[in-house]
Chains A and B, each alone.
Chain A
Amino acid sequence: MSLVAEDVLVRYGARRSVADALRRRPPQAVPAVDGVRLSLDKGTILALVGESGSGKSTLARCLVRMQQLAGGRVTADGVDLTALRGGQLKAFRRRVQMIFQDPYESLVPRQCVRDIVAEGLAIHGVPRAERDERVDAALAAVGLTPVESFLDRRPFELSGGQRQRVAIAGSLVLEPDYLIADEPVSMLDVSVRAGVLKLFDELRRTRELGILLITHDLATAVHVADHIAVMHRGRIVEQGPATQVTQSPAHSYTRALLAATPDLSFE
Chain B
Amino acid sequence: MSSLIGVRDLVVEFSSGVRAVRSVSLDLAPGERLALVGESGCGKTTTMLAMMGLLPAGATVSGQVLLDGKDILAGGEATMRPHRWSDIAMVFQGAMNALNPVRRVGAQIVEAVRIHGGSRQDGKLRAREVLDLVGLPKDTSSRYPHELSGGQRQRAVIALALACQPRILLADEPTTALDVIVQDQIVTLLRQLSDSLGLAVVLVTHDLALVPHLCDRAAVMYAGTIVESGPCADIVRRPRHPYTRRLVEATPDLAGRRPLTSIPGAPPRLDLPLTGCAFQPRCAEALESCAGSAPPLTDLGGGRTRACHLLEVTA
Give the shortest distance, in Å, between B238 (CB) and chain A (any CB).
Answer: 12
Query: Which of the segments A60-68, A120-128, A190-198 contacts the partner chain?
Result: A190-198
For B179, what are the chain A residues with a Cβ–Cβ distance below 8 Å? 51-52, 216
Q: B210 within 8 Å of A by Cβ? A: yes
For B236, what are the chain A residues with a Cβ–Cβ distance below 8 Å? 264, 266
Main secondary structure of the interface of A (DSSP, over half): helix
Contact (Cβ within 8 A) A257 B254: no
Contact (Cβ within 8 A) A265 B255: yes
Query: Which of the segments B156-164, B261-269, B297-305 contacts the partner chain?
Result: B261-269
Complex Cα distance A260/B184, Å?
5
Query: Which of the segments A6-14, A18-26, A107-115, A217-225 contacts the partner chain?
Result: A217-225
Q: Which of B155-187 contact A (CB under 8 A)?
A: 178-184, 187
Smallest Cβ-Cβ distance to A216: which chain B residue: B179
Give the shortest distance, in Å, between A88 (CB) and chain B (any CB).
Answer: 37
Smallest Cβ-Cβ distance to B243: which chain A residue: A191
Query: Which of the segments B86-94, B118-126, B132-140, B201-209 contacts the partner chain?
Result: B201-209
Contact (Cβ within 8 A) A263 B254: yes
For A246, what are the chain B residues with a Cβ–Cβ distance below 8 Å? 254, 256
Smallest Cβ-Cβ distance to A263: which chain B residue: B254
Contact (Cβ within 8 A) A194 B256: no
- Residue-by-residue, is A247-267 near B (CB-CB < 8 Å gives 1, otherwise 0)? 000000000111111111110
For A222, what are the chain B residues with a Cβ–Cβ distance below 8 Å? 252, 254-256
Q: A31 within 8 Å of B by Cβ? A: no
Contact (Cβ within 8 A) A190 B150: no
Q: Which of B12-42 contact A (CB under 8 A)?
A: 39-40
Smallest Cβ-Cβ distance to B248: which chain A residue: A264
| Given A51-B181, A192-B262, A195-B262, residue A218 in contact with residue B254 (CB < 8 A) | yes
- Residue-by-residue, is B36-54 near A (CB-CB < 8 Å gives 1, otherwise 0)? 0001100000000000000
Contact (Cβ within 8 A) A194 B260: yes
| Given A160-B40, A190-B207, A217-B180, residue A223 in contact with residue B251 (CB < 8 A) | no
Q: B247 within 8 Å of A by Cβ? A: yes
For A148, what are the chain B residues with a Cβ–Cβ distance below 8 Å? none
Contact (Cβ within 8 A) B260 A262: no
Contact (Cβ within 8 A) B256 A264: no
- Residue-by-residue, is A115-159 near B (CB-CB < 8 Å gives 1, otherwise 0)? 000000000000000000000000000000000000000000001
| Given A222-B256, A262-B209, residue A51 in contact with residue B182 (CB < 8 A) | yes
Pick from B150, B187, B246: contact of A191, CB below 8 A: B246
Give the shortest distance, in Å, between A259 (CB) and chain B (any CB).
Answer: 8
For B233, what are the chain A residues with a Cβ–Cβ distance below 8 Å? 266
| Given A217-B252, A262-B209, residue A191 in contact with residue B262 (CB < 8 A) | yes
For B248, what are the chain A residues with a Cβ–Cβ distance below 8 Å? 264
Smallest Cβ-Cβ distance to A256: which chain B residue: B181
Question: How big is chain B's contact interface, by range?
Answer: 35 or more
Contact (Cβ within 8 A) B150 A264: no
Give the shortest distance, in Å, between A128 (CB) and chain B (any CB).
Answer: 33
Pick from A190, A218, A265: contact of B206, CB below 8 A: A190
Pick from B210, B250, B254: contact of A194, CB below 8 A: B250
For B208, what are the chain A residues with a Cβ–Cβ distance below 8 Å? 190, 264
Q: Which of B76-135 contact A (CB under 8 A)?
A: none
Q: B146 within 8 Å of A by Cβ? A: no
Q: A202 within 8 Å of B by Cβ? A: no
Q: A243 within 8 Å of B by Cβ? A: yes
Q: A76 within 8 Å of B by Cβ? A: no
Smallest Cβ-Cβ distance to B236: which chain A residue: A264
Contact (Cβ within 8 A) A262 B250: no
Q: Which residues of B contact A (CB under 8 A)?
A: 39-40, 150, 178-184, 187, 206-210, 212-213, 233, 236, 246-248, 250-256, 260-263, 266
Can you list 13 A-B contacts (CB < 8 A)?
A: A51-B182, A190-B250, A191-B247, A192-B262, A194-B250, A194-B260, A217-B180, A218-B180, A262-B180, A262-B184, A262-B207, A265-B254, A265-B255
Given contacts A52-B179, A198-B260, A265-B253, 18 further A-B contacts (CB under 8 A): A51-B181, A51-B182, A189-B40, A190-B206, A190-B247, A190-B251, A191-B250, A219-B209, A223-B256, A223-B260, A243-B256, A257-B181, A260-B180, A262-B180, A262-B210, A263-B209, A263-B254, A264-B251
